[in-house]
Chain A
């Protein structure tokens, strides 16, 4: 496994905006059929890292390698053309469009001859529904339904299926489960596993350790723009990961601190404001 060329690799990537360094010396690799979970608290630099991978920002220093070849993306479109697809928290779909139309937005199948080329609705619907069902979402069976009528998990699944259908090789999932309930999140995790089974390199961004552990092969914890820990599945326990994400301060310390506070303050928890810069 280790001598395989990673689909995507970052080597010592730095990103700064003017004098502010956001990412330092990020080195990561993701193989085909592997899920890398990127964990980190808010403000750790996860979004900047995703945007750098997706071609929104270009790295200040360092290299991004695709199949071992250095790449430089100047626009998000460049990254997309190389098969790097980003799916955002709310799916990046169009709630007021039908499933078929939304699936093919920008690449509509047509029939007929110019200038009477018409959008091939039945073909679009059929392909879209099949693509989603192949991912195990059998509840979607009518391409004429509006995307807005789907649940959050189904919308994520639709977006992932869309990315895979259009040839994505690297799938960047930006907190796909953050706004979802337990059942819906399980849905999305199943889809992630399916994408992995199909040999995609998946970068899964989350701050829910449980979700990360359910699908991840490889974990990286980001703290203040640097990789604080990089380990493989089974090397660390859930508590250890949570502690890492909290910035080294262990969760049990934090709990003890709060309990101690409550004892001396008639059972009131500490004020939230004083916690923010801890």
Chain B
């Protein structure tokens, strides 16, 4: 069990993580204890990580989804409009938000399997369309680009609470979701299907794997996860703003790629994406703990991305020649 958590795809992201921390300690004078206890990067990682794993699933399955960039603000705006502007119970807002995620995923999935349009373009289209929907509907319905809401205590407790030193409760959701996702991808037969789909779609179909159905489910999972994150943000901040969500797209894709996921499909791991997300969060947020001017952070991210993906490539070719984790004996 333990060994399969640390399967090869995660190795590079753990090494990147160690390198980044070492870099910040030696060149930025970071107090490791202070950074480890800080909420900033953990909050950042949690908000990213809940979306990054389902997006990673899609990538492993040979597809890509970027429409989550609009689903996060859509989830938070919908929560605020339904519960804040119209004053309906927050439960309705939650159901509506999750339904919206499922619907968005369904649309992405159906467009992907019914047409030959690559899913990058499909989700780019739905991303831009969703941005339009958010902007127009908030203008039409509320007349504002920012909507306030007051969530009841139970919703605050479950989704928008701050624990301890400013840690958002979403961190717990992130850890739970990561565990569930790990189980699905690495332990359940479903995970095998996802890998097979990304490895060779036609062979997967020939082997009796319901490729189309699974593609739709994976799109639904990623859109719904994004809507969930948006909902949590609205409840936490007591308000929602119209935003493009373009930055988050890059952040998620960098995390997934640093995590050892092969962009062309067939390879990756939940542990890898988990550590990739933490690495990205530490680069992004850890820079505030250093004496380094924070404007350099993008440069560091860029270099880290290239190094990590480079490492992933070489680890993968090692995996080919050496086989499993254990050393192989020479064939007799």
Contacts and interface: CB of A to CB of B under 8 A. Distances in A.
Interface of A: 76-77, 80, 86, 92-98, 101-102, 104-108, 110, 117-119, 121, 139, 142, 144-146, 148-149
B143 interface: no
A149 B206 contact: no
A28 B204 CA distance: 30
A98 B322 CA distance: 12
B323 A119 contact: no
Interface size for chain B: under 10, 10 to 19, 20 to 34, or 35 or more residues? 20 to 34
Interface string B170-194: 0000000000000000011101110
Given A95-B266, A97-B195, A139-B331, A146 B207 contact: no
B188 A118 contact: yes
Contact of B195 (A86, A96, A110, A117): A96
A148 B4 CA distance: 19
A106 B202 CA distance: 12
Contact of A108 (B189, B203, B206, B319): B189
A141 B109 CA distance: 40
Given A117-B189, A119-B187, A107 B208 contact: yes
B325 interface: yes
Given A94-B203, A107-B207, A144 B323 contact: yes
B196 A149 contact: no
Interface in B280-322: 316, 319-322
Which 4 A-B residue pairs are closest in the complex by CB-CB distance? A94-B199, A106-B207, A144-B324, A108-B189
Contacts of B323: 142, 144-146, 149
Nearest to B200: A94
Given A106-B208, A119-B187, A93 B192 contact: no
Contacts of A110: 189
A80 B205 CA distance: 12
Nearest to A108: B189
Contacts of B262: 96
Contacts of A148: 320
Interface in B1-34: 4
A93 B203 contact: yes
A98 B187 CA distance: 14
Interface SS of chain B: helix
Interface of B: 4, 187-189, 191-193, 195-196, 198-200, 202-204, 206-209, 262, 266-267, 316, 319-325, 328, 331
Contacts of A142: 323-324, 328
Contacts of B188: 117-119
A145 B4 CA distance: 14
Contacts of B199: 94-97, 102
B192 A105 contact: yes
Contacts of A95: 199, 266
Contacts of A101: 192, 195-196
A126 to B, nearest CB: 14
Which of B188, B200, B266, B321 counts the most chain A CB atoms within 10 A? B200
Contacts of A139: 331
A166 to B, nearest CB: 9
B209 A105 contact: yes
A119 B208 contact: no
A149 B316 CA distance: 10
Given A119-B188, A144-B325, 7 more contacts: A92-B206, A101-B196, A102-B196, A105-B196, A106-B196, A142-B324, A149-B321
B202 to A, nearest CB: 8
11 contacts: A80-B206, A96-B199, A97-B195, A97-B196, A106-B196, A117-B189, A118-B188, A142-B324, A146-B319, A146-B320, A149-B323
A188 to B, nearest CB: 18
B189 A119 contact: yes
Nearest to A94: B199
A105 B204 contact: yes
Which of A77, A95, A96 counts the most chain B CB atoms within 10 A? A96
Nearest to B207: A106
B324 A92 contact: no
A102 B209 CA distance: 12
Given A77-B208, A148-B320, A149-B319, A92 B203 contact: yes
Nearest to B325: A144
Contacts of A149: 319-323
B207 A97 contact: no
A96 B266 CA distance: 6
Contacts of A97: 192, 195-196, 199, 266
A271 to B, nearest CB: 38
B267 A96 contact: yes
A43 B320 CA distance: 35
A93 B325 CA distance: 21
